[in-house]
Structure 1
Amino acid sequence: MPSVEVRGQSIRVKWWSGEYHLDDEGKPTRKKRYDSASGPEPGVPFADEDQAYNFGLDRESDVRNKRNRKRAPAPLRMGEYCDLWFKEVGLRSKSNTTYRSRLNAVIKPYWVQWTVDEITPIDYDAFRKYVTGKYSHNYSKNVLGVFKMLMDDAVVKYKLRDESPIVEQRRRGLYKKKQTRRVKRRLGIQSVHQLAVNAHTLWGFTGWTYIWTIAFTGMRPPGETYGLQRGYSSPHWPESEPDPELREESVQRYEALHALRVQYQTYREAGKPILAAPKYDSWRTLVIPPFLHGMHEALLASHDKPWTFLSMSGKPMLGANFFRDYWYPIRDGASERPARPRYERWARPAMPAVPEMAEEDIYRLRHWHKAKLDEPGDIPRVAVEARQGHELPGMEGVYSEVTVAMEERIVEYLQRVWEKEVVGAGLWTPAFPMPTPDDLLQSAPPLFSGLPVQEYE
C-alpha cells in the first residue's frame, strides 16, 4: 500500500516500484525500491492526502499490470537507435561488417522517418513484404533477423517499447508447407574424387589434400581450413600444443590415433588479416584416418610456411580470390591452358565439370562428411555432431560425451571408405611430393603464423 507523508505545505506519496535493490554483483536483493511523487504532474502539488493516496494506488496498479515502464525522455529515432544498438551489441569482426551492412543498406533507410516506439505490427508487415519482395530469400531472412533483434532489445534491454511489433502467431489462411531444407543432389565419392583431381590439376598436391581434408574432417571452409597452421596439423599436434594441460591430456588420449586441432579461423576485415576463434567458439579435435595423415605429412614436408594450405603462388590463402580462381574452375571445369613464354608454370590440361556439384558451394563437402558418418548407423550422434562443431540440445547434450572408442570407430570407418571406395575402386591417386635432401637439412619451419595475439577473438 502507498504511504503518504505531510511535510509542511507539501504532501508526498511513496509506492513500491516493482523493483529491488542490486548488490555489488548486480544481482537483485530482497530490499524493495520505492518511487515517490509530490504531485500528479511536475510543478503541480497534491490538493490533499486523499488525492496523493489515490495517486499511489494508481501507480501500484500500474506495477501489478506491468504498465509502469519508464518512458524515454523523448522518442528515439530509428537511425539513432540503430547506431546505439550496433555500438553495444558486441560482435566478432566478421559479423560487425555483416550487421553494419544490413543496417545501413536496408533497415536505416527504410525506417529513417520513424521513432522506435511508433512502429506497429502493420508497419512491420509492410516492411517484411518490402524486404522479401526485393531481396533474395537468404538475404531478406538475415535482414529480418537483425530487425527482430533490434525490436527485442528495444523492449527488454532499453525499455523503449512495451512489446515488439513482430507478432508470431499460429497459422492463418491457406496452408503452405514450409520448405525447411532444399533437396540435395546425391553426391557420390566418385564426384568428390573428381573435385580432388581437378584441384590437383589446378593447384597441385595442395589442392588434392585440401578437398579430401574437408570431405573427411567436415572442417568449415574456407575460414577453418585457412586457419589450420602447421603446429595444429596431425604431423605435429598434440606435441606442439601451447597449452600444457591440453597437451598432456591430448598426448595420452591420442597416443594411437592421428588428430588435428581446429583452433582458429582466418578472414579479412577491412583488408586486415584476422585470427579468430572458430565459428560459435567450436574449438575441437578431429581424429583423422591414416591416409589423410600421410597426405598432411607430405604436404608439410613440401614447404616451410606456418600455414598448412598455401595458394598456387605459395602464399597464405587469405590473399587469394578462392571462389573465382579456385573453387569455380574445380567445380565447373575449365578449358586447357597451353604453355606460353614466361607463363609455363600456369599451363594445365582441361578439367571436366562435376555435374552433381553444379552451383553448389564448397560447404557441400562438409555436409557430405556428415551424411557419410551417418551411413553405417553405429557411430553415435554425439560424436558426429561434435566433429561438426555442434552441440546436442537438451539433456542429451549435457550428459553425452565423445569417448576414445567412438573416435577409433570413426577412424576405422573413414579409412575403410578410402580403401574400398577410392583405392579399391581403382580411382586415380597422385604420387606424394618428396622433400629433397637439402630440404631435410634446413632448420625447422615455424609451427605457427605469428599473427599478433590481440587479433584473436
Structure 2
Amino acid sequence: MAYAEKRGRYWRGRYKLPNGKYGSVSEDDDGQPFRTKNAAKQYAAGLETDVNRKTFINPRDGRITVAEWSELWLESIDVGPISERGYRSRLKAVIIPEWGSVAMGDVSAVAVATWIKKIRQQYSLDHANGIVSTFRIMFDDAIKSKIRSDNPVPSRRSGRRGRFQPRPKTEKVIATPRQALLIARNAMSLRGFNEYVMVLTMAYTGLRIGEIAGIHRSHLALKDEGAGARIHMAHQSQYVDGSFTEIDPKYGSGRGLIIPQFLADLLQQLLDSRPESEWVFTAPNGGRLLRGGGWYKSTWHPIVEGCGARPSGYGGMPAHAGLRPVLGVEGLTPHGLRHSEKVWLDEEGHPKVAVEARMGHTLPGVEGTYSHVTLGMELKIAASLQGLWEQSQRLVVGRREFGPLPPPLAVNRS
C-alpha cells in the first residue's frame, strides 16, 4: 500500500513495484517536490494503481539521456545499411547536439515543437522531415521499452495548433519519351554510348540509379524466346561504411523486368563493345560505375540543363563544344525518369497490378491479394514502350526543344 515519508523539508511517496519491492518518488510530473504528506501519498498511490493495471512506467527509467538511449536504440534496430546510415547521420549532426544531455523523460511536446519549427527554417523540407521522423521513431521504441509512456514528437497525422499553413506541393519533374531521348543524346555527346544507353535504361525500366549501377552481364537475358527480353534485377550498389558494395534491392524488390526490343538491342551493342567487363554500365575509364555528387555535377546536370563549351584542360577533361539544355525538364533527377515511366504506363492504360510490379511495389489490401501479373500483361507493356520509343524518334515541328547554349567555361590558368 502506498504511503509517504518525511525527507528533510519535503516528502516522498513510496509505492509497491511489480517485483514486490518498494519504489520511491520525490517529484510530481512538473518536477516539483512534494511539500505535503498527502500530495506525496496520493501521487504514489496513483503509481501503484498503474502497477496493478499493468500500465506502470517507472519514473526512474526516464532519466536515461537522449544520447544514451540513442546508442542503445541504434544497436537494437534491424534496418538496411542505407537507412541505418541515415539515422546515424541525423543523430550525430542534429539531434544529439540539441537533445543529447536531456533526460528522455524531460523531453516535452512544446520544446520539441519549437525545435521542429527551427530546423524547418534551417534545412530543406525533406531533410527536416527525415530528422523529425528519426526522433519520432526513437521515442516510439522508447515507449515499447517502458522508458516513457508518451511520444512528444508529433506524427504527421496528429492534430496541430496555430495558424493554418498549407503544405507546399512539390511536383516531381517528369519527362516525355521525346525529352528522355534528347537527354540521352546529350549524354552521348558528353560521355559516349555507355551514358546514352544508361539514360534510356533508366527511362524504359524505371530502375533506380543504385540498381542500374549493380547490373551484371549475367543479369541480362536479351534473346527473346517467347517471354520477352529481360533484365533480372537482383541487388543494388551502394556505399556502406565507406566501401562500395552490393546490397538487397530497396524493400526487397528484386524482379525480372521485360524490356522493349530497341533497348535489348542497345544493351547487346554495349556488351559487345567491352566483352571483358563484368558490369553492364561502367565508369568512363571502364571501372566500376560510381554515382555520387561528382557524377551529378559533371554529367547529370549538364546533360539535362546544358553546359557551356569546355576548353581543353578544364577539370582535367577533354574539350567539348557545349550542350544546350532540354526544355521542360528543368530540375529533373535520375529518379524522375523512374516516375516518368510510371506515368507513361498509366497513360497507356495498363493494369495497375502489372505497373506496380514493374516498379517493385506490392498492391495493398484485397486488390493486391487477388490481382496477378500475367505474361500477356508484361508483353503488352514491352510493346507499348517500344511504340513510345519509335514515336520519340519523330522530329517535332514548330516547337523548341532546346534552350540557348550556356556561356563557355573559362579555365583559370593562374
Which segments of 5 or more consecutive residues in structure 2 lack a partner in the other structure?
1-15, 25-44, 398-414
Contact 1:268 1:318 in 2 (8 A): no
Q: What is the alpha-carbon distance in structure 1 between the residues aligned to residue 140 and residue 104 of structure 2?
A: 11
Q: Give the Å deviation of 1:185.
A: 5.2
Query: 2:63 is aligned with what amino acid?
Result: P
Residues 124-139 of structure 1 aligned to structure 2 (within 5 Å): 124-139=112-127
Q: Give the Å deviation of 1:154.
A: 0.6
Aligned twin of 1:296: 267
Q: Does 1:356 align with 2:328?
A: yes
- The superposition leaves residues 423-443 of structure 1 with CA deviations (integer Å, 9 ceiling, x where unpaired) of 6879xxxxxxxxxxxxxxxxx
Q: 1:170 is matched with which residue: 150, 159, 168?
A: 159
Query: 2:119 is aligned with what amino acid?
Result: V
User: In structure 1, the residue corresponding to 2:85 is in which secondary structure?
Assistant: helix
Q: Give the Å deviation of 1:63.
A: 4.6
CA pair 59-84 structure 1, distance change in 2 beyond 3 A: closer
User: In structure 2, the residue corresponding to 1:260 is in which secondary structure?
Assistant: strand
Q: What is the alpha-carbon distance in structure 2 between the residues aligned to residue 351 and residue 215 of structure 1?
A: 20
Q: Give the Å deviation of 1:36.
A: 3.4
Q: Give the Å deviation of 1:123.
A: 1.7
CA pair 80-298 structure 1, distance change in 2 beyond 3 A: same
Q: Give the Å deviation of 1:400.
A: 1.8
Q: What is the alpha-carbon distance in structure 2 between the residues aligned to residue 280 and residue 167 of structure 1?
A: 26
CA pair 208-381 structure 1, distance change in 2 beyond 3 A: same
Contact 2:211 2:236 in 1 (8 A): yes
Aligned twin of 1:140: 128
Aligned twin of 2:257: 286
Contact 2:310 2:320 in 1 (8 A): yes
Q: What is the alpha-carbon distance in structure 2 between the residues aligned to residue 61 and residue 167 of structure 1?
A: 28
Aligned twin of 2:299: 326
Task: Give the CA RMSD over aligned residues.
Answer: 2.9
Query: 1:200 is aligned with what amino acid?
Result: M
Q: What is the alpha-carbon distance in structure 1 between the residues aligned to residue 374 and residue 190 of structure 2?
A: 39
Q: What is the alpha-carbon distance in structure 2 between the residues aligned to residue 413 and residue 360 of structure 1?
A: 23
Q: 1:235 is matched with which residue: 218, 222, 246?
A: 222
CA pair 74-397 structure 1, distance change in 2 beyond 3 A: closer
Q: 1:224 is matched with which residue: 211, 219, 227?
A: 211
Contact 2:221 2:231 in 1 (8 A): yes
Q: What is the alpha-carbon distance in structure 2 between the residues aligned to residue 319 and residue 185 of structure 1?
A: 20
Aligned twin of 1:346: 318
Between the two proteins, the alignment pairs up a number of residues equal to 357
Q: What is the alpha-carbon distance in structure 1 between the residues aligned to residue 175 and residue 310 of structure 2?
A: 28
Query: 1:386 is aligned with what amino acid?
Result: A
Residues 39-78 of structure 1 aligned to structure 2 (within 5 Å): 61-63=49-51, 65-70=53-58, 72=60, 75-78=63-66
Contact 1:330 1:353 in 2 (8 A): yes
- The superposition leaves residues 403-429 of structure 1 with CA deviations (integer Å, 9 ceiling, x where unpaired) of 111101101111111122326879xxx
Residues 381-420 of structure 1 aligned to structure 2 (within 5 Å): 381-420=352-391
Contact 1:196 1:211 in 2 (8 A): yes
User: In structure 2, the residue corresponding to 1:36 is in which secondary structure?
Assistant: coil
Which segments of 5 or more consecutive residues in structure 1 lack a partner in the other structure?
1-14, 18-34, 42-56, 237-250, 427-457
Question: Normalising by structure 2, what TM-score?
Answer: 0.78
Contact 1:196 1:212 in 2 (8 A): yes
Q: Give the Å deviation of 1:77.
A: 1.0
Contact 1:148 1:166 in 2 (8 A): yes
Residues 365-376 of structure 1 aligned to structure 2 (within 5 Å): 365-376=337-348
Q: Give the Å deviation of 1:269.
A: 2.6
Contact 2:227 2:375 in 1 (8 A): no
User: In structure 1, the residue corresponding to 2:264 is in which secondary structure?
Assistant: helix
User: In structure 1, the residue corresponding to 2:20 is in which secondary structure?
Assistant: strand
Aligned twin of 1:161: 148
Q: Does 1:335 align with 2:323?
A: no
Contact 1:232 1:260 in 2 (8 A): yes
Contact 2:173 2:330 in 1 (8 A): no
Q: Give the Å deviation of 1:64.
A: 5.8
Aligned twin of 1:23: none
Question: Normalising by structure 1, what TM-score?
Answer: 0.71
Q: 1:275 is matched with which residue: 243, 246, 252?
A: 246
Aligned twin of 1:190: 178
Q: What is the alpha-carbon distance in structure 1 between the residues aligned to residue 62 and residue 133 of structure 2?
A: 27
CA pair 359-421 structure 1, distance change in 2 beyond 3 A: closer
User: In structure 1, the residue corresponding to 2:63 is in which secondary structure?
Assistant: coil
Query: 1:130 is aligned with what amino acid?
Result: K
CA pair 290-162 structure 1, distance change in 2 beyond 3 A: same
CA pair 190-70 structure 1, distance change in 2 beyond 3 A: same
User: In structure 2, the residue corresponding to 1:309 is in which secondary structure?
Assistant: coil
Aligned twin of 1:308: 280
Which piece of structure 1 moves more, 136-145 or 357-366? 357-366
Q: 1:36 is matched with which residue: 20, 24, 45?
A: 20
Q: Give the Å deviation of 1:111.
A: 0.8
Which piece of structure 1 moves more, 223-232 or 69-78? 69-78
Q: 1:110 is matched with which residue: 92, 98, 104?
A: 98
Which piece of structure 1 moves more, 72-81 or 259-268? 72-81
Aligned twin of 2:76: 88
Contact 1:201 1:349 in 2 (8 A): no
- The superposition leaves residues 268-321 of structure 1 with CA deviations (integer Å, 9 ceiling, x where unpaired) of 234311110111111111100111000111101111211100111111112873
Which of the two has higher C-alpha Rg? 1
Q: What is the alpha-carbon distance in structure 2 between the residues aligned to residue 407 and residue 275 of structure 1?
A: 27
Contact 2:62 2:106 in 1 (8 A): no
CA pair 319-63 structure 1, distance change in 2 beyond 3 A: closer
Residues 404-443 of structure 1 aligned to structure 2 (within 5 Å): 404-422=375-393
Over the matched positions of the two proteins, sequence identity in percent amounts to: 30
User: In structure 2, the residue corresponding to 1:159 is in which secondary structure?
Assistant: coil
Aligned twin of 2:107: 119
Q: What is the alpha-carbon distance in structure 1 between the residues aligned to residue 23 and residue 164 of structure 2?
A: 52
Aligned twin of 2:410: none
Q: Does 1:259 align with 2:230?
A: yes
CA pair 167-197 structure 1, distance change in 2 beyond 3 A: closer
Contact 1:71 1:159 in 2 (8 A): no
User: In structure 2, the residue corresponding to 1:356 is in which secondary structure?
Assistant: coil
